[in-house]
Structure 1
Amino acid sequence: MLRYLFLFLLLSSPLFAQDYEEDIAVHRDEYMEEFLTTPNSPLKKEDLDGLRFYNPNIAYQVEARFVATPKSEPFEMPTYDGKKKTYVKYGELHFQLEGKPQKLAVYQSLSLRQLPQYRDYLFIPFKDMTNGQSTYGGGRYLDLRLKDIKEKRLLLDFNKAYNPYCAYSDGYSCPIPPKENNLKVAVEAGEKTYGKAH
């Protein structure tokens, strides 16, 4: 019986990988479409060919354990244009990457929390060892929703990591990832540096 189960998993894994790559392709199409429908977007249709991504890699989709931090106080997160935005640390994600334990803080914007459509929005700004080389030097972002956390666990997918608007143009208030979210590994997944000068 175990042999048949092993064969089934072996045969189905390429299909699973193919489905995953298709899911990421759809996600990236939607991501690029948002640049054309968002009023303050830094990119126009002719700029989209400058967007570059790592090939989808399911090794960078990891299961993370969520630990809430309900006693956290609001704080001012600095941005690259000198302004500050108010966030609260909502919790921490504990996971393994490259065989080593990692941790990322999850934040919630106090201003966005007042808007019904963003009430469950969570934000992960982070840096890693690829910044300034194959990825934007100022770090990258991940978005989550409260519903993504189920029984204190969630799938953290670095293939969906994206650049802040500051990677494409000046004049935007992009949060600077706090030091606690500086990963000491190279996250070779998600969006790369923008391929055109600005």
Structure 2
Amino acid sequence: MKQILYVMFLSVLLFSCSDKLSPEEEAYIKRIEEHRAQVNEFMKSDPRSPFNFKNKVEFHELNYFDVKPDFVFTSKLYEYPEKDTVIIYGTKGEPRETVKFGYVKFRYDGEEFKVNVYESTGKDGTKYYSIWFTDKTTNKESYGVGRYLDFEKQDDPNYIYTVDFNLAYNPYCAYNPNYSCAIPSKEDYIPLEIKAGEKKFHN
């Protein structure tokens, strides 16, 4: 599921001076809710869904935090001068090589945070980029392994990316133990309660 960029929404202020939502915020919330409905339908019905893979898992609708427009940020991709190859582990214990490629950053409540972006290589040689993280909700309200954000790298070094935590999702191992998923490292911990995106599936 590809990350959705909301450029039009980000052209206006993310915060309203009153409790009433702006039309742009209302439209954004509606888009996120529609996206979540599409994900639920995929998970329920598509044969590629983790609920329909090997040992079929009982489906119920995914759990989400309320949509929060103030958890949408923009950032350049800051590449590390030296791109170290690091080992991360899957939930079945297998080591995986990945490259710590760069990071994005954002400010929240007056503090600055950064989130690593990793470069991996698929079996066909295609490179793909990933964000995975844990935060202060991990293993409480959100999945204990961590959550993911899709990231599509652009060739333009000045490109401004959307980092939307309302689109944070659980890896497939959160639903079906037949899957193994990358475990975020200690460095991928964000010391913040990110009450946006997907919650735990199994309570």
**Superposition TM-score tier, normalisation by shorter sequence:** 0.7 to 0.9
Higher relative helix content: 1
What is the aligned counterpart of 2:183 among 161, 173, 176?
A: 176
What is the aligned counterpart of 2:99 among 82, 88, 98?
A: 88
C-alpha change, 1:63 and 1:134, in structure 2 (3 Å) is: same
What is the aligned counterpart of 1:101 among 94, 99, 112?
A: 112
Unaligned runs of 5+ in 2: 1-15
**1:46 deviation in Å?**
8.4
Is the contact between residue 62 and residue 97 of structure 1 (CA under 8 Å) also seen in structure 2?
no
| TM-score of the two chains, using structure 2 as the length reference | 0.78
**1:52 deviation in Å?**
0.5
When Rg is computed on C-alpha atoms for both structures, the one with the higher figure is 1
| TM-score of the two chains, using structure 1 as the length reference | 0.80
Residue 8 of structure 2 corresponds to which residue in structure 1?
none
**1:13 deviation in Å?**
5.8
| Cα distance in 2 for residues equivalent to 1:46 and 1:18 | 34
C-alpha change, 1:143 and 1:112, in structure 2 (3 Å) is: farther
**1:122 deviation in Å?**
1.7
Is the contact between residue 80 and residue 173 of structure 1 (CA under 8 Å) also seen in structure 2?
yes
Matched residues, number: 183
| Cα distance in 2 for residues equivalent to 1:184 and 1:155 | 20
**1:149 deviation in Å?**
7.0
| Cα distance in 2 for residues equivalent to 1:97 and 1:48 | 35
Residue 69 of structure 1 corresponds to which residue in structure 2?
80
Residue 155 of structure 1 corresponds to which residue in structure 2?
162
Is the contact between residue 51 and residue 195 of structure 1 (CA under 8 Å) also seen in structure 2?
no
Question: Equivalences for 1:19-98 in 2 at 5 Å?
Answer: 19-35=27-43, 36-37=45-46, 39=48, 41-44=49-52, 47-69=58-80, 71-98=82-109
Q: Is 2:177 the partner of 1:166?
A: no
Percent identical: 30
C-alpha change, 1:176 and 1:148, in structure 2 (3 Å) is: farther
Unaligned runs of 5+ in 1: 1-8
